[in-house]
Structure formats: C-alpha cells, structure tokens
Amino acid sequence: MFQSPTPNTSNQHSVHTNALSIQGSSSALVPLPVNLNVNSINTHNSVENAEFLQAQCFVQNSQKQEDVLRALGMKIKQHEDNLNHLNTEKRKLDDSILHLQVSIGKLESSSTTKIGDTDNPHPTIDEEVNKQILQQDKSAAGILCQLKIRHGAQASHLTLIKDVVGIVTLLGKVKDDNLSRLFSEYLGVETMLAIVCRTYEGVKALEMYDKEGCINKSCGLHGLGASIGRALDDRFLVICLESLRPYAGKYVVDDPQRMLDILNPRLPNGECPAGFLGFAVNMISIDNSNLFCVTPSGYGLRETLFYNLFSRLQVYKTRAEMIQALPCISDGALSLDGGMIRSCGVFSLGNREDVDVRFPPPERSMGLDNDLEIERQLKDVNWKKEKIMEEINREQALLDTAKVNFNKKRSDYVKYLEQASSAATQAQTTSDRFISRS
C-alpha cells in the first residue's frame, strides 16, 4: 500500500526553526549589563578625582596661610624678646642713674637747697658738731668729745677708749642738711650719740661692775666723767661692730664709697616707684679710713654700722610718692617733705622733730674731683638711656604693626577654613546624591 509522508517530521523542523529565530530576535532586544557597570565606574571615578583635587588645593592653600601666620608669629616673638632685653637694660641704667645721683648729691627739694651745694662755707664743721655733742649734758658722747678736745690724739691711746671707733654722728656725713635732719630724727638723739666699738672687749672697758653687780662709778666712762666734772647717770648706747650681722650682698662696681648694690624696689608692673631716690645707707658719706677693715673680720662702717641702723630704709621726694610705693616698702621710708614710715605698717605722724645732733656735711675739697667724674658718668648714662628709649619706642611700633598683621591674617584664615568647610560639605552631599541615583 502506498503511505503518505509523515507530517510530524516537517512540522518538527519548522517548529525548531521558528524557535531559533524567536530566540535570536529576543536576545538582540535585552541591554547588556556589562556596558552599564562601566559607565557607573567612570562617573564615580570622575567625582572622586574632583574631590581629591579640591582637597589637595585646600591643603596647599592652608599650608601657605599657616606658613604666613607662623612667620608673623616669629616676628612678634622676636620683637617681644627685643623689648624685654631693652627694658632690662633700661632698668639697669635707671639704677645706675639713681646711684650716681645719690653720689653726686642731686637730690632736690622744693623747701631745701640741692645736695652738694656748698656755697655756704663750713670752716669749722668739726667744732660745730663737737658743740652739738657737748650741749648734751651728762652724756657718754659728751665725755668722750671733751676728752678728745682736751687731749687730742693722745686720748686714743688710753686703754679705756683705744677700741672706740667714734660716735655715730661723727662717723658719717650727709651732703644735704634736710636729709641730715631726717636721718637724725629717724635714728633719734640716743642713737646719734651712741658710742661705736670694734669688739666686745671695748664695750666691757667702758663700764665695770662690783661684786654685787652694781656699776663701779670710779672706773670706765663713769670714773672719767667724774674726773672732768661731767657725771654720767643716764643710760647710753654702745654699738659693738663685731657683733653686728654685716651686709652680705655685693657692692656697686668701681664706686669709691663702696655703695651697697641693693636691688631697687619694684612695683608689680616691674617699674621702679616714682620719686624713689635711693637707700639711706648709701646716702651716708664715710671717711676713707672707715670704708675698709674697721672690724676684725674686715668689714667697713657702711656694711656694718649704717646697714644695721638704716637697713633698706628708702628715700622718696614726696610723701605722696612714698605712700604710692607702700607695696614696695619693707624696712621703712622717708620723704624729703617730712614723711616717715618706721617699718612696714608703722607711720610717724605729726610735726617734724628738730634733732640738735645731726650728721655734718662733707668738706667740699674731699670730693671735688670725684664729683666731676660722677657728673661725666651721669651725662653718659643719661645719653645711653635716651638711645635705649628710642630703640624701645621703635621696637614697640614694630611689635604693634606685627600684631595687627597677624590678627588680620588669622581672621582671613579662619574665614577661609569656614568657607572651605562649607564647600566641602556641599560637594559631599551632591556626590552622595549622584551615586545613590546611579
């Protein structure tokens, strides 16, 4: 029998062909995922590169501005160091001027003459001082004074007084009469008439006692006073130099009077108080014979006797200036117009007391050449101070300018940081949005 071809074979071929064509056409319509990933990475890299360049620019600009600020800060530090050095030099010059003024006697008072003004001659200074002492009836100083008047140089060989250096009022001299009155009032008559001995052996020789401890009126100064008709009944002071604690500091360099190099008082701001003229202990002139080796230990009168009497007593021009300097006063102060502070917190008020016994003025011929030399030194130091002040003013102006520039640059830098920070925040926000959309 004749069989017709099976239609399944051709149908299967047809179906297979259609399936392939459909598959191929559908594959061409779907986008490739590989192309999408490449575009996203490139865009992200571009954003990162832009942010990196922006950050790098910010760092470079910041570094430049910081370098400028650092350089201005170094200038400020340099000017401040220069000012500190110049102010230290100025204080040294001020101290030198004070020492020289005290030495030459340039202290002035509206009610007194200038120190060192010796237009009024003193032909009999010793006689005047001796007269003052002799007027003190029944005093030990009066007995010694009368003994020396009667016996002259021979009196010093007596066993009784061979260790006696002298009487306080005769051991120092003061160029200004007003200062002399102030010092005498401050010390008091009893101290001005005190007898000064080198050692304690000299003190013992002035007064002796019997077995009961009573004063032996026939020995010592008591016996001497009775023999010349000047009975000694009252107490009197005797100062033993070897028992005093001497000044332990330095001396003013190349000073013929061996002034004590005491630091001047300073206010909290570092400045010397207005009107400060010096220390009383350095305003006493001492004979050359008593400047060195008066005591067995080799000390002179300034660092022993007068340092213990005056300590660091300060002298000011006016009472008002003295009161303003109260924070700096530890051992008392005087003013040329009569103000007196005996110690910290202890004031002497009322009318001034005119003490009869005072320090005598020095002979003009004693220090004429020295005064001329000190005058020259004073002019030189004042000239140096003027130059220092000019440098201080110049450095201060440079410092002020440097501070203004620094503050301006710092303000600009702060504003730049604020703007850069705001721009960086805005850029970061934009980047985050773009990436999230992608």
Give pLDDT tens digits for 234-284.
889 999 999 999 999 999 888 888 899 999 999 888 889 999 999 999 999
> Does the pLDDT of residue 158 top 60, yes or no?
yes
Q: Place 32 in a pLDDT band, splitting at 50, 70 and 90.
A: very low
Q: Which two tokens stand for residue 366?
A: 């004693």
- Cβ-contact 221, 232 below 8 angstroms: yes
- Name the range with the highest mean pLDDT among 10-14, 27-31, 144-148, 153-157: 144-148
> 155-175 burial by CB neighbour count: b if 16+ within 10 A, else e?
beeeebbebbbbbbbbbbbbb
Q: Where are the beta strands (DSSP E) in 265-415?
A: 276-279, 314-316, 333-335, 340-343, 346-348
Give pLDDT tens digits for 392-409.
998 899 999 888 888 888
- Cβ-contact 266, 223 below 8 angstroms: no
Give pLDDT tens digits for 210-219.
888 888 888 8
Nearest alpha carbon to residue 234 among 197, 272, 268, 193: 193
Place of tokens 């050692």: 199
Give pLDDT tens digits for 44-60.
555 556 555 666 676 67
- The answer to whether the Cα torsion of 356, 357, 359, 365 is positive or negative is positive
Nearest alpha carbon to residue 377 among 175, 87, 117, 101: 101
Place of tokens 């910081």: 66
> Does the pLDDT of residue 8 top 70, yes or no?
no
Counting Cβ atoms within 10 Å, is residue 204 exposed (0-12), middle (13-18) or buried (19+)? middle
In this structure, of 29-43, 63-77, 322-336, the range with the lowest mean pLDDT score is 29-43
Beta strands 333-335 and 340-343: pairing type?
A: antiparallel
Phi then psi dihedrals of residue 108, to 5 deg: -125, 150
Sequence letter at residue 29: L
Q: What is the pLDDT of residue 313?
A: 95
- Cβ-contact 169, 192 below 8 angstroms: yes
Q: What is the pLDDT of residue 211?
A: 86
DSSP string, 254-299: T-TT--B-PPPP--TTSPPPTTEEEEGGGS-B--GGGTS--STTS-
Place of tokens 């003295």: 322
Q: What is the pLDDT of residue 256?
A: 85
Mean pLDDT (the chain, rounded) = 77
- Cβ-contact 188, 355 below 8 angstroms: yes
Taking CA atoms, 297 is separated from 198, 238, 242, 245, 267, in Å, by: 10, 19, 8, 11, 36
Q: What is the pLDDT of residue 240?
A: 94
- Cβ-contact 193, 237 below 8 angstroms: yes
